[in-house]
Structure 1
Amino acid sequence: MSLSPFHLAIPVYDLAAARDFYGRVFGLAEGRSSDAWVDFDFFGHQLVIHEHPKTASQESAHTNPVDGHDVPVPHFGVVLEWTQWEALAERLRAFGTAFVIEPYIRFQGQVGEQATMFLFDPCGNALEFKAFKDIGQLFAK
C-alpha cells in the first residue's frame, strides 16, 4: 500500500525553541520558512510549526488511560519501522529528552503489540512515536 504524505500545522509559542527541537534534536530537514513559521520533513511528511499564542492544551494536557499509562490528548506522531523507532528512542535519550511515557512495548503478547513513546515539544505539543514488528497489526482489533 502506498501512503500519501500528510500535512500538519501545529501552534508553537516559541518559534526558536521549537525550530531547534525539531531540527537539532530530531534531526529533521528544514524546508521553507518565514518569520512566523517553519516547514520540516517529518519522516517524509510535512510538519509546519506556526508561531501562535499558547493554547489550552499546551498549558495543561488532558490524558486518557491506555495500558496503565496516562496518554496526553491531543497528540500526533508517526508509525516508524522498528529499527527507525529504536534509533529515534536512542537519539532522544542521547539529547536528554524528558519522556511523558518512556519507550516501551505496549500490549505485549496481545493483538496490536507495539513499541511506543510519548514526549512534549518545548511548546507543550504532545508527540507519540510507535512501531509494529508486524505492521499488519496496525488496525487489528
Structure 2
Amino acid sequence: MSQPTFHLSLLVSDLEQTRRFYEQQLGARVGRATEHWIDLWLFGAQVTAYARPDAVMPLPYRQAQHFGATLDWAAWQALADRLTATATVFQLDPTVWTDKGQAKMVLADPDGYLVEIKAYRDESILGRPS
C-alpha cells in the first residue's frame, strides 16, 4: 500500500497564472488538468486549484490563511538561494535563526494565499511519527 498523500484545494482567479507560479517558483509538477482545475504536486502533497474567480475571498480576509511545507535543511537552503537569485518577492524573506536552528520563508501566490516553507537543523524536535 502506498503512503497517504495530503490534499489541499484552492479557489483561484486565474488557473494559468497559478500554474506558472507553483511550477516556476516552487517547482510543482502538474498532474491531472482540465480547463477548470489542475492538480499540482508540491512537496509531496496534491494541491488542486479550481478556477473560481468569483469565489476567491478578497484580502484582508484570507491573510491568516496559509499552508506550508517543512523541508530538510539542505533543500530549504537550495530553494531559498534559487528564489533569492530570481528576485522573488517574499512576504517574509528567507530567514535563518542560527540560535534556534530554524529557517523560514513566506511567499504569496497570485491570489494572495501564503505559502510558508520551514526547515529545522534538528528534525527530531518536530515529533514526526516513524
Q: Fold-level match, TM-score > 0.5?
A: yes
Task: In structure 2, list runs of 5 or more residues that go unmatched.
Answer: none
Runs of 4+ in 1 over 3 A off after TM superposition: none
Asked if structure 2 preserves the Cα contact closer than 8 Å seen for 1:75 and 1:127, the reply is yes
Q: Which residue is equivalent to 1:109?
A: 99
Counterpart residue identity of residue 43, structure 1:
F
Structure 2 length normalisation: TM-score? 0.84
> In 2, distance between residues paired with 1:109 and 1:24?
32
Q: Which residue is equivalent to 1:119?
A: 107
Q: Which residue is equivalent to 2:35?
A: 35
Structure 1 length normalisation: TM-score? 0.78
Relative to total residues, which structure has the larger strand share, 1 or 2? 1
Q: Which residue is equivalent to 2:12?
A: 12
Asked if structure 1 preserves the Cα contact closer than 8 Å seen for 2:105 and 2:116, the reply is yes
CA RMSD in angstroms comes to 1.8
Work out the number of aligned pairs and report it.
123
What SS class does the counterpart of residue 109 from structure 1 fall into? coil
> In 2, distance between residues paired with 1:81 and 1:23?
20
Task: In structure 1, list runs of 5 or more residues that go unmatched.
Answer: 63-71
How far apart are 1:61 and its partner, in Å? 5.5
Q: Please point out which of 43, 54, 57 is paired with 1:55.
A: 57
Q: Does 1:130 align with 2:118?
A: yes
What SS class does the counterpart of residue 115 from structure 1 fall into? strand
